[in-house]
Amino acid sequence: MESLNLIKNDPWLAPYKEAIEGRYQYVVNKEKNLTGNGRQTLSEMASGYLYFGLHKTKSGWVFREWAPNATAIYMIGTFNEWKKDDRYKLQRLGNGIWEIALAEGLLRHEDLFKLLVEWEGGCGERIPAWIRRVVQDENTKIFSAQVWNPEKPYVFKHKRFKPNVSPLLIYECHIGMASNEEKVGSYDEFRRMVLPRIAKEGYNAIQIMAIQEHPYYGSFGYHVSSFFAASSRFGTPEELKQLIDEAHSMGIAVIMDIVHSHAVKNEVEGLGRFDGSYTQYFLGGARREHPAWDSLCFDYGKNEVLHFLLSNCKFWLDEYKFDGFRFDGVTSMLYYSHGLGEAFCNYADYFNGHQDGDAIAYLTLANKLIHEVNKNAITIAEEVSGMPGLATKYEDGGYGFDYRMAMNIPDYWIKTIKEKKDEDWHPSSIWWETTNRRADEKTISYAESHDQALVGDKTIIFRLIDADMYWHMQKDDHNFMVERGVALHKMIRLVTASTINGGYLNFMGNEFGHPEWIDFPREGNGWSHKYARRQWDLVDNMDLKYHFLGDFDREMLELIRSVKNFQSTPIQKVWDNDEDQILAYMRKDLVFVFNFNPTKSFADYGFLVPKGEYEVVLNTDANRFGGFGLADDTIHHFTQFDPLYKKEKKDKKPEKPRINPFLGGIIRGCVIRWPYAKRQVEDTGTPASYSVKKERRENI
């Protein structure tokens, strides 16, 4: 085999050539096995949802299920008073497949039903594995499958949509907690009231959590029971389709947070012991249960399971027009240990035999399938170990994801805020953490996601300000903790968003410093929705400081979008000084300058940039963002040659003159468009950032 590009591009992987090529060949062989040696495409193979489950035909209905251990299966429901009835008995076809054909009048739209599955030594009620609609009774709390055959199915207006990935700006969201009211929000409410906010903010993608049906609302959607059913607690399939369609009309891609890393243990609601056996969909023995998540682990080595999961990927693309997926828990899938207790300190840790080759094959085939179905689809891996090749093309020997989550960045910010005094924040460390990634893999950078907002953790804004948020967020209330927190909140986001090599993600409400953690209704809080919502009225209130953060977030994204393919432009460090706590770097015609010093401002602070004239385009300390407005951002700034620099004859490189920026304001950042600026300075005690705009000139 000719050496794969993954190895060619990274010589440090050469010692592991055999393992990498072995994984690649295993995927090739697995695809041949699944597709009948190429007699059909991967996409044609992954069409199980068109065969299994409940389908309306010209003459009536047909239902099919895979249950190899079953001895008999009956449909029971509202149509037969939930009793065993031979008219609704399925017939065995072979290979573990069961089928029943029903006359049209025997099932109606919105009928409730389940399967009564019998096996040697027992029986149980089950929700069909391939069902597309599951509802919960408000009184009994019992889940049932539901016949869904509306007279007027939703017809998409936008059947072809191409996401804007230059760059990808993701708004991570949860439908249920998107309401301002203390309740479960709906698809329709989100479409009408939240989507316009997201579009106005400048995000071009939403990443929706908790779509696949899950019995326990408080699981955040990560304990899935019905993989083909869109959660009914938020509304109907038609309403979800309309939401996605309208998002597309606004230029917003819709990414689904898909959970194929594990499944809920429930037997009545989920796939656990679906046909009486423990290993129909899941691993056996000690590997069956996830030791940390109280859930079941799929058997990725079984072709029927691969068929189920791959069909699930295609289903959401085909039926709902999702634009791609964020795969949850990829680290857990890659390793027999689920990544628990492992440090991943060197390359050997990725090729020591502790990796699950079947899971790797599934993830690779899933990516290949998704891009075969929709070449513009987006796939993102939530992965923390740093597995090489995860976001490298399949043909190059990688696993085929478009992006991987830069999970080191939020961990770094939380650790810094928790453990370091302001005086100990080191720009060199900030630069390293925000730019440390494999050159051939794109990442999604983020300061915080839903993980940092859940009970048991704290958001960045709450770690910075804490309880003072409850008392001092009025505009006319000057509080040091609040002013410091607001300033650093903006700077942390600016440095994170401006160093991306793929995309940027923000969790719903965090852009304006939502003050509350997320706590879903549970017995311990009296089943309250008080902390499972988003208080949009806070950012809408012009008398509070929340809107400053929201306004800054919007203008920050506008700046990033103003540079075509911002994520692909080279990023060059101009200066870092840990003693002064100054960081400066360039992207195209933008110079980003940060002063993280909590006690000092600087005048005539020189560093080298391309010659020319600069204007400030974004300043975190501007009055409109809740800053002190210490600098006059209307002033243009010019580069100048440094005599000492000239003395050493380094001035012969005219593209590298010196600029003397104003770094006034304690803890500040700035973004400047080409050469910097000379500024009047005044000491203050708050953080800031700017941006400056370039106009090229031949001579200075």
Query: Helix, strand, or coil here: 576?
Result: strand
Q: Answer whether 144's CB lies under 8 Å from 113's CB.
A: yes
Q: Is 120 one of the annotated active-site residues of the chain?
A: no
Q: How many CB atoms lie under 10 A from the CB of residue 183? A: 14
Q: Answer whether 651's CB lies under 8 Å from 669's CB.
A: no
Residue 526 one-letter amino acid:
G
96: left (phi over 0), alpha (psi -120 to 50) or beta: left
Determine which helix (DSSP H) or strand (DSSP E) holds 431, and give its type and residue range.
Answer: helix 427-435
Query: Helix, strand, or coil here: 171?
Result: strand
Pick the catalytic residue: 382, 433, 448, 621?
382
| CA dihedral of 458, 463, 465, 468, whole degrees rounded to 10 | 50
Rounded to whole angstroms, the Cα distance separating 274 from 379 reads 30
Torsion 333-337-339-344 (CA) sign = negative
In order, the DSSP letters of 205-271 are EEEEES-EE-S-GGGTT-S-SEEEEE-GGG--HHHHHHHHHHHHHTT-EEEEEE--S-EE--SSSSS
Pick the catalytic residue: 213, 328, 483, 511?
328
Q: Answer whether 4's CB lies under 8 Å from 24's CB.
A: yes
Query: Helix, strand, or coil here: 559?
Result: helix
Rounded to whole angstroms, the Cα distance separating 267 from 287 reads 18
Rounded to whole angstroms, the Cα distance separating 687 from 684 reads 9
Q: Is 382 one of the annotated active-site residues of the chain?
A: yes
Whole-angstrom CA distances from 547 to 259, 538, 687 are 34, 8, 18
In order, the DSSP letters of 2-45 are PPPHHHHT-GGGGGGHHHHHHHHHHHHHHHHHHTTTTTS-HHHH
Q: Answer whether 620's CB lies under 8 Å from 552's CB.
A: yes
Burial of 569 (0-12, 13-18, 19+ CB in 10 A): middle
Look-up: residue for tokens 């965090």? 510
Helices and strands, counts by H and E, the chain: 16, 30
Largest CA distance in the chain: 98
Instruction: Give me the active site residues, please.
Output: 328, 382
